[in-house]
Structures are given as structure tokens and as C-alpha cells.
Amino acid sequence: SLQASADQGWMYVLLQEMRKSKDLDVADVALGYMEEIGTLHRELEELQRSQHKAVAILEGCLSRAHGMQLQHEEQQSYFKEELLLYLEDVESALEALGTHKPSIKYLFNSHTRNVGKRPDSPAQERRGLPQRTRAPPTTHLTGNGTPAQESLTDINDNDVILLKDRLVEAIHDRELIQEMFNREQERNQEMEKKKMALSASLEQETEARKKLEKMVVSLQGEIERLTEALRAVKCKKREVWDRKRHNLESSFSYEDSVIGHQGGSKNRDPLNGSERLEGLSHEHWLATILEMEGIKVAGDPVTALHDYILHLRDKCASTVSERDAQAAEARMLENCLKSAADALENALIHDERWKPRVTDSQHTTRHSKAFVGCDWGRVISNSPGALTRAIVHDVAAACHLPEAYVLNMEYCNGDDALYVTFDLRHDPSITKNELERRLSECNFHEIDKLYAGEDQSVDGVDELRGELQSSLEEIKQLREALEMIQANAQGACNSASAPLLYR
């Protein structure tokens, strides 16, 4: 058992060492991967710059070659015309002397045809630019001893062929450049189409807002008209009620006078009669009002009036709640329309945001930014890669520049804020004050989300760091288990050796 526990302990130690070496290898691989990515980015930038320079050099070569070719053709045609005139003069002189040699024009044409033929030997097919020397023309004696320039300067076709090959290559490169330019134009056209689509959608939203405003105005006018109509109806009802009440009072006063005249002064009680008249008039008046409102009175008019008042209260409460809901909806629509109008105005003023400004200049300026917060240490320890990406993204979005133009970024954690310094590559026409203004007006949404813990995505170095942390925790647990096993084994050894010593 002791040997097994010792072997088990050694196995735990070996497992710990293997995991530790594995974590170190993973960290080295991640570091090498990041360095290789940086090297590839730098090589890609150098390659792009060299391609731009090569394109400029090739265009210059094409223009110079075209000009040299035109100049060479003009000189060659001028030389041939002068030579033909000279040969005609020589031929006329020979004819005057009476010689019967072949025509010098014929010899010149045959010589030019032989020179114009392309040689078939491999040695002559080598394409190279030989050194051109201007040797004086040699003189030969004709049959009658008259000197004439019969040998002509040979025109080497190898130079022309080499120039043609170079021109073909340059034309091919130019076609490639033209194709790339066409692709960029197509991409720009697609971006313009997207911009037009966004503008069309924005116009649609604006038209919808105008329609909603017109609808709100019409609804307000209708509400005012209904309110006026309701007031007029109430006034008419009050006038009708006053008229009926006056008629009822006059009728009851007439009945009372008739009853008093018939019963005499002995059977008449003025007080009881007035009370009865007042009670009957009130009940009749109340029943009449309820009938005017469209309420059926089956029993006591006061009870019916009480029920009608409760019904009106419930209806008033529901009407108030509906009015509040409609007012909230109207405010929400007003806010939506206001935000759409602000977005339209912002897009019309700051159209630079739709197209980041790229430049070939290497002009850079140094900037700094402070992010208030006391818990930046947690973000730096848990997700430094995500923090770097968020800072680069927000800074590039704020300054309307590509993310690759944010260079040499450094940050340090303070007591109450995170201090970030970085270089910005931009066109010299953009001033440093303008960039500072853009940085001060930016909201930095990605950094705020990361600080609040809403962005839980981890990858790259952050993922490796998390795996390393979990591995360290696992190693710690294994160490505790190993120490516990060793303590148990030591206790077992002591308990086993105690009886032997006693014996």
C-alpha cells in the first residue's frame, strides 16, 4: 500500500509537471502567433506600398517607351527617305557613266527584306539590347572605280522584339491595374447604391412622420369639434331641463291653488301642502332628468341616480386611463419622429461617417483619453485582448478612420480611471484639434459594455488566459489532494511502525 501510494504521488507530480509544461507551450504558441500576425500585417503594408510604387514606375516606363517608339519610327522613316534620294542620285550617275550593274534600289530592297527576316538560329533568337556604335560607313569601288555607300546600317530586330515584349508585359500589368480599378469602382457603386437605399428609407421615414403629424393634427381638430358639440348638447339639455322644471313648478302651483280653493280654509294645511308639493316636484324632476339621459327608472329615482353616478365614475376612470395611454403613445411617436429627424440632420451634416478617410500619408499625432472607473483592474486581468479591441474600435469610429490607423496604443490603470495613449495616422488636412473634438464627443459604447460586463465573448489571448487560470486552479486542487494523500500515507506508516517498535 505504501508503494502504491508513493507511485500514485509520483504520478500526480508527473501529471502536474506535464500540465505545467503544456500551459507554458500554449502560452509560447500564443505569443508567437501574435508576433507572427503583427509581422504579417507589417509585410502586407510594405507589399501594398511596393505595389503602388511598381504601378507608378510601370506607367512611367509605358509612357517613355511609347514616346521612344514614336521617335524611333519618325527617325527611321526620315532616314529611309534620305537614303532613297541619295541612291537615286547615285544610280543616275552610274547610268550616265554607262555601267550595267543591278539597280541600287533593288539591292537596297533585297537587303532590307533579308534584314527584316527573323533569323532561325538559336544564337540569333537571344533577346538582348546590344551596344549600338555609330561607325562611319565604308566605301567600296564599283566596276568603273566610282566610290558609293553600298553598305547600310543594319536594323537589329532584337531590340524591337524586346521592346515589344516589354510593352506587352506593361500592357498586361496595365490591364491588371485597370481590372483592379474597375473592381474598386464597382465596390464604390455598391456603396453608393447602399447609400441611396438608406437615403430612400430615410425619406420614407420622413414621409411617415409627416403623415403621422397630419393625423395627429386631424385628431386634435376632431377632438376639439367633439368637445364643442358635447358642450352644445349639454347647454341644450340644461335649457330643456330648466324649461321643463319651470313648467312642472307652474303646474304644481296651479294644482295647489285648485286644491286649496276646493277644500276650504278648514281642511287646508299650508305647510304639509308645500312639503308634499316640494317632494313630488323633486321626484318628478329627477325622473324626468333620468329619462332625458336615457335611463329607465323602475323604482326609486334616487337609487337609479346613484347607480348612474357610479357608472359615470367608472366610465370616467376608464376614459382617463385611455387618455393617458394615448398621450403616452403620442409622446413615444413624437420621440421617434424627433430621433429620425435628428438622424437625418446628422447624416446630412456628417456624411463623412459613411466613408472613412484613408490616406497614403504617414502623418501621425499623439492623443490620450481617460475612462472614469475604479474597477478597470478586473477588466485588464480578465480580458485584456477584448479591452484592446474595444478601444481601437471606438477610437476609429469616433475619428472616422480605419482601425489599422490606431497605432502604438498603451494603457495603464489609475486609482479612479483608465488612462489610454495612442497614435493616430491621418491625412494632414485633419488637424489635431479636430481629432480631439471627435474623441471628446464620442460615447465609447464598446468600452462601456465591456466595463459593465455585458460583453462576455472571449477569444484569442483572453481564452488562453482563462484556460491557464483554470489549469492553475486544477493544479492547486491536485496539490491539496497530493498533500492529503501524503499525510494519510505518513499516518499509515506511523501507525504500522508503532506495533513493531513496541514488540
Q: Are 426 and 357 in contact (CB under 8 A)?
A: yes
CA distance 342 to 335: 10
- The neighbouring-strand residues paired with 141 are 147
Q: What is residue 356's predicted lDDT score, i.e. its pLDDT?
A: 58
Q: What is residue 80's predicted lDDT score, i.e. its pLDDT?
A: 74
Q: What is residue 365's predicted lDDT score, i.e. its pLDDT?
A: 94
Tell me the angle at which helices 2-97 and 461-502 cross, rounded to the nearest 10 degrees: 150
CA distance 356 to 350: 12
Asked whether residue 304 falls in the same domain as residue 408, the answer is no
Apex 199 CA angle, 197 and 204, nearest 5: 95
Asked whether residue 364 falls in the same domain as residue 339, the answer is no
CA distance 435 to 442: 11
CA distance 128 to 162: 7
- The neighbouring-strand residues paired with 413 are 418
Could you tell me if residue 244 is inside a domain? yes
CA distance 493 to 2: 8
463: nearest Cα among 380, 376, 384: 384
- The neighbouring-strand residues paired with 368 are 421
Q: What is residue 258's predicted lDDT score, i.e. its pLDDT?
A: 52
CA distance 354 to 339: 19
Asked whether residue 361 falls in the same domain as residue 341, the answer is no
Task: Give the end of a domain, one of 316, 346, 376.
Answer: 346
Sequence length of the chain is 503
Q: Mapping DSSP to helix (H, G, I), strand (E, B) and coil, where does residue 369 land?
A: strand
Domain count within the chain:
2
Could you tell me if residue 74 is inside a domain? no
- The neighbouring-strand residues paired with 354 are none
Return left, alpha or beta for 138; rule: phi > 0 is left, psi -120 to 50 is alpha, else beta: beta
Q: What is residue 135's predicted lDDT score, i.e. its pLDDT?
A: 39
Q: Are 461 and 385 in contact (CB under 8 A)?
A: yes
What residues make up the domain containing 241?
Answer: 189-346
Could you tell me if residue 475 is inside a domain? no
278: nearest Cα among 304, 252, 259: 252
Apex 490 CA angle, 485 and 491, nearest 5: 100
Residue 376 sits in a domain whose CATH number is 3.30.70
Cell readout for 304 is 337609479
Asked whether residue 298 falls in the same domain as residue 385, the answer is no
User: Which amino acid is present at 462?
Assistant: D
User: Which of 280-308 are b and which e, b meaning 16 or more Cβ less than 10 Å from the residue's Cβ?
Assistant: ebeebbbbbbbeeeeeebeeebeebbeeb
Q: What is residue 220's predicted lDDT score, i.e. its pLDDT?
A: 79
CA atoms within 13 A on the CB side of 102: 7
Residue 155 Cα distances to 64, 112, 213, 451, angstroms:
21, 9, 85, 78
Asked whether residue 333 falls in the same domain as residue 413, the answer is no
The tens-digit pLDDT sequence of the chain (503 residues) is 677 777 777 877 877 888 888 788 888 888 888 888 888 888 888 888 877 887 777 777 777 777 777 887 787 777 777 777 766 766 666 666 554 444 444 444 544 444 444 444 444 444 443 444 443 444 444 444 444 444 434 445 566 677 677 778 778 877 888 888 888 888 888 888 888 888 888 888 888 888 888 888 888 787 888 778 777 877 877 787 777 667 666 665 655 565 555 554 444 443 344 444 444 456 667 777 777 767 766 677 777 777 777 888 888 888 888 888 888 888 888 888 888 888 777 765 555 544 557 788 899 999 999 998 888 888 888 888 888 989 999 999 888 888 899 999 999 988 889 999 999 998 888 889 989 998 998 888 888 888 887 655 555 555 666 667 777 787 888 788 778 877 777 776 666 555 444 44
CA atoms within 13 A on the CB side of 445: 2
Q: Are 341 and 209 in contact (CB under 8 A)?
A: yes
Could you tell me if residue 180 is inside a domain? no
- The neighbouring-strand residues paired with 424 are 365, 406
Could you tell me if residue 245 is inside a domain? yes
CA distance 262 to 268: 10
Asked whether residue 313 falls in the same domain as residue 199, the answer is yes
From start to end of 426-465, where are the E strands? none
Return left, alpha or beta for 275; rule: phi > 0 is left, psi -120 to 50 is alpha, else beta: alpha
User: Which of 245-271 are b and which e, b meaning 16 or more Cβ less than 10 Å from the residue's Cβ?
Assistant: eeebeeebeeebeeeeeeeeeeeeeee
117 sits in which H/E element: none
User: Which amino acid is present at 189?
Assistant: Q
Could you tell me if residue 178 is inside a domain? no
Task: Give the end of a domain, one of 288, 312, 346.
Answer: 346
Chain-centre distance of CA 346, in angstroms? 16
Q: Model pTM greater than 0.95?
A: no
User: Which amino acid is present at 139?
Assistant: T
378: nearest Cα among 413, 422, 424: 413
Could you tell me if residue 388 is inside a domain? yes
Q: Are strands 417-425 and 364-372 parallel, antiparallel or unpaired?
A: antiparallel
Asked whether residue 211 falls in the same domain as residue 300, the answer is yes
Q: Are 492 and 2 in contact (CB under 8 A)?
A: yes
Asked whether residue 261 falls in the same domain as residue 400, the answer is no
Asked whether residue 363 falls in the same domain as residue 425, the answer is yes
Q: Are strands 406-413 and 147-148 parallel, antiparallel or unpaired?
A: unpaired
Could you tell me if residue 76 is inside a domain? no
CA distance 410 to 420: 6
Asked whether residue 316 falls in the same domain as residue 225, the answer is yes
Question: Where do we find the cell 464627443?
Answer: 441
Task: Give the end of a domain, one of 346, 377, 395.
Answer: 346
Asked whether residue 229 falls in the same domain as residue 339, the answer is yes
Asked whether residue 203 falls in the same domain as residue 311, the answer is yes
